[in-house]
Structure 1
Amino acid sequence: IFLGSLSVVTVCGNLLVITSIIYFKQLHTPTNSLVLSLAMADLLVGVLVFPFSMAFSLSLCLYQENIFCKIRDSFDITLCTSSIMHLCCISIDRYYAVCQPLTYTTKINHNAAVVMILVSWTASVTIGNCFTFVKLEKHSVNVVANTMSFVFAFYLPVIIMLCIYLKIFFVAQRQARSIQNTKSGATVSKMESKATKTLAIVMGVFLMCWFPFFFCVTILTLIVSVPIPVLETLNWFVLSNSTLNPFIYAFFYSWFRSAFRLIISGKIFQGDFSISKL
């Protein structure tokens, strides 16, 4: 019941994000194109990965490797990797917006967003299929291939995101201090505190959901034997990130909250609100 409810929340939350971005013209920006594609990946996690993971658990598929387990693994790895790739692209977009605002509109346009989306999905499908369907005869080669998949699917994007968000944080702090002559110290302190809190929530929730699982399957398993129920629980933590993403990347902004209110109240069915100012 709990996991089924989590699936419903994941689907509804990401549907709200998708509907908002498609319907309201104000939200038709390159940044929101990335958010839209991320929401699509997270929606598919709720629709496909959650039910398959409930029906064909990690422990079950460990002992009988049938076609449904392969489909489950393929959806799981592909869509979760896609979610990570999109989060990485969003961090790049935020870097240019904060650190290079004068060149932001020329470097991050709709074409650039489309390229990032295509790269994210292509890399995700490639990693998912390689990890799931390619069976190599030599066990040592197989271990190397699996390790490389984890590096490109998780560790490399995480390192990129950490570096980018640290850079954004330091630049935001410098910008806040540079306007001390026009604003009070209390206001500057509040701005720095908000920047710190935002970046801490973004990276904190992401690492809380993802790091324990990847740490166990890549590093801890080399030292001790990790019980399957533990890995299964940590895998559900990974999937729960798709539930939380709409709250982190959409509910954070006032225009999305306004859009959600118009959709949930049904007002968009009573007239044309697509060009309304959110």
Structure 2
Amino acid sequence: MQDEDVVLYCHYSGNVSCVKEVRGAAVSLILYILAAGAVMITFSGNLVVIISICHFKQLHTPTNILVLSLAMADFLVGTVVMPFMTIQSIESCWYLGEIVCMVYTMSLAFLTTVSMLNLAVIAIDRYLAICSPMFYTIRITVRFACYCVVVVWLVTLSYISAMVFSNGNTEGVIGVDPCPGDCVFVLNLTWGTTDLVCSFIMPVSLMVTLYTKIIIIAKRHAKAISVQQRVQLHNNMPPLKKSEAKASKTLGIVVLVFLLCWLPFYICTILNQFISYPVPSFVFCACLWLAFLNSGINPIIYALFYPWFRKSFRFLVTFKICSHGSSLFKLLNES
């Protein structure tokens, strides 16, 4: 038998184990370097967002509290999920045991759902800010936004715990795979359908609907302003602030990029679970990586569109953030 005909298994126990993909040392090194770069960008970028919003008092707004929640979820993706996903993807075998597998898969499901729900709440926040500015100014406070964040995280934790530990998930449970030596997210048909609807279809439908209405209202405001009808617009509604419009545009881009990154993964999931079309493992792995690379893209979007992010970053790298009274620095205009 020639060397190229040799088949390696993850646990070398014959046909009952997963087949190990053999890669050259140079290829593995390049993949590890690329993955390490993605992890560092995700880690450092979201850490800047977290420190900025927590430290600078001017950034303590309801919208930024929601952005902080999203950045925290992305930060945990970079520190908890992506390192394990790197080892699993490159080595093509799982060597870290069942307990770590359970933690890894639960974290993956939990943080994915938290991010999706955070974006849905951000869409509601932007809709109220644009379409009901008087109500938004009076009722939506930083404390209320904090309550919303706590509810999102607790509801998601309860949902994922029910998914993992309930008896309704006996046909396929997280961390179990017909091929020993792997660590995958396996759900039965009932939970698979429930998760698809609750974690993707419903939040996405809400986001698309609200941002479509935001675009329509924003165009209406712009048209009214162009013909000098600010006072008559929507029964004496105050004109739309530039800051609110820009924030909505930026967060709309965040939502769009999120959907573009996650849509291929959910398409693969639908093909696997509901149509019984076997998606090649490398395609599924590539879609999963594209989805989680979104956690590193968000800070780049903030850097491109948020002046406060760039100013905060300069304060961080120059250590001005350590000076007395730095929390009162002005990062944006009050207009």
Specify if TM > 0.5.
Answer: yes
CA contact (8 A) 1:74 1:128 kept: yes
Distance in 2 between residues matched to 1:64 and 1:147, nearest whole Å: 29
Distance in 2 between residues matched to 1:29 and 1:198, nearest whole Å: 16
CA contact (8 A) 2:89 2:285 kept: yes
CA contact (8 A) 1:15 1:43 kept: yes
CA contact (8 A) 1:147 1:218 kept: no
Stretches of structure 2 lacking an aligned partner (at least 5 in a row): 1-32, 173-186, 230-245
What code does the residue aligned with 2:137 have? Answer: T
**Which one of the candidate residues 216, 236, 260 is aligned to 1:170?**
216
Q: Give the deviation of 1:146 after TM superposition.
A: 1.8
Secondary structure of the 1:102 match is: helix
Map of 1:206 onto structure 2: 258
CA contact (8 A) 2:254 2:298 kept: no
Distance in 1 between residues matched to 2:258 and 2:147, nearest whole Å: 24
Return 221-230 or 67-76, whichever deviates more.
Answer: 221-230
What code does the residue aligned with 2:212 have? Answer: L
Return 196-205 or 151-160, whichever deviates more.
Answer: 196-205
- TM-score, normalised to structure 2, is 0.72
**Which one of the candidate residues 189, 201, 205 is aligned to 1:155?**
201
Stretches of structure 1 lacking an aligned partner (at least 5 in a row): 184-193
CA contact (8 A) 1:7 1:50 kept: yes
Distance in 2 between residues matched to 1:80 and 1:212, nearest whole Å: 14
CA contact (8 A) 1:45 1:239 kept: yes
1:217 equivalent in alignment to 2:249: no
Return 106-115 or 87-96, whichever deviates more.
Answer: 106-115
Higher RCO structure, 1 or 2 (CA under 8 Å, sep 6+): 1
Q: Identify, as 1 or 2, the structure richer in helix.
A: 1
Map of 1:186 onto structure 2: none
Provide Cα deviations, 1:3-48, integer angstroms capped at 9, x if missing partner: 1110111010011011111111101111111111111111111010
Map of 1:121 onto structure 2: 153
Q: Give the deviation of 1:100 after TM superposition.
A: 0.7
Distance in 2 between residues matched to 1:238 and 1:132, nearest whole Å: 22
Map of 2:240 onto structure 1: none
1:233 equivalent in alignment to 2:286: yes
Secondary structure of the 1:277 match is: coil
Distance in 2 between residues matched to 1:181 and 1:151, nearest whole Å: 44
1:264 equivalent in alignment to 2:317: yes
Q: 1:111 to 1:199 in 2, by over 3 A?
A: closer
Secondary structure of the 2:134 match is: coil
Q: Give the deviation of 1:180 after TM superposition.
A: 0.9
- TM-score, normalised to structure 1, is 0.86
Q: 1:250 to 1:114 in 2, by over 3 A?
A: farther
Equivalent positions of 1:38-187 (< 5 A) are: 38-57=70-89, 60=93, 66-134=98-166, 136-138=169-171, 142-182=188-228
Identity %: 41
1:273 equivalent in alignment to 2:326: yes
Count of residues paired in the alignment: 267
CA contact (8 A) 2:50 2:72 kept: yes
